[in-house]
Structure 1
Amino acid sequence: MTQLQLFRSILVTLTLAIVAGCATVGQDFATHNVDQIEIGETTRSDIQEMFGEPWRTGVEDGKRTWTYGKYRWSAFGDAETTDLVVRFNQDGTVSSYVYNTTE
């Protein structure tokens, strides 16, 4: 094996190690509007306008939930996570929400 081939092999191995050491799940969303959410006042339409389409939807204790989140892990540094979980009343207004971030 020539020095150039050895160098390329090492470079490819290092690149694969870096790529394999990182993972991202979810999607970016605007977080500057979180403090504008008002329990019993803000509607699903308002939430969609502020944050876009939710990354996940579901039901918790009979209430519709929307989750916005981006989770980035790295074997070479600290994790960076941001998530917003919004629960809605039957009338479509916000029942409760939780916002967390490591930033």
Structure 2
Amino acid sequence: MLNTLKVVLVAIGFASLVACANVGKPYPEHRVPDIQTGQTTRAEVEQMFGKPWRTGMENGQVTWTYGQYHYGVFSEAETSDLVIRFKPDGTVASYSYNRTGPNNGDPAASSSAP
């Protein structure tokens, strides 16, 4: 009986360790306010944030996505994503920044700041 209890407790402990997922990669969220629509170039975005985690197209515009997502069974999800859309001339057409968890939506309060 005692051995069975130990096995169950070890299994629960192991399950709680592996019951979370991390996707994406960290990026300096505190730099989001530095993006200037119509002025900031792709090269400047890459200098600020590094290579994008994902690239694509939206309505004919090149998009770069920076994101980090942490999901846990026993904790609230913490996510942040930055999607930048570029004009044909290579400058920023628009961008969106979204965050869940602590400091929700405030890049200045982000834990990614140095």
* TM-score normalized with structure 2 length: 0.80
Percentage identity across aligned positions?
A: 50
SS in 1 for 2:21: strand
What is aligned with 1:100? Answer: 98
Tell me which stretches of 4 or more aligned residues in structure 1 moved more than 4 Å.
Answer: none
CA-atom RMSD in angstroms = 1.7
What is aligned with 1:47? Answer: 45
Q: Can you give the 5+ residue segments of structure 2 that lack an aligned partner in the other structure?
A: 103-114
What is aligned with 1:28? Answer: 26
| Structure of higher CA gyration radius | 1
Instruction: Give the CA deviation at 1:20.
Output: 3.6
Instruction: Give the CA deviation at 1:16.
Output: 2.9
Q: Can you give the 5+ residue segments of structure 1 that lack an aligned partner in the other structure?
A: none
Number of residues of Structure 1 aligned to a counterpart in Structure 2: 101
Residues 15 and 2 of structure 1, relative CA distance in 2, 3 Å threshold: closer
* TM-score normalized with structure 1 length: 0.88
What is aligned with 2:111? Answer: none
What is aligned with 1:56? Answer: 54
**1:10-29 equivalent positions in 2, closer than 5 A:** 10-29=8-27
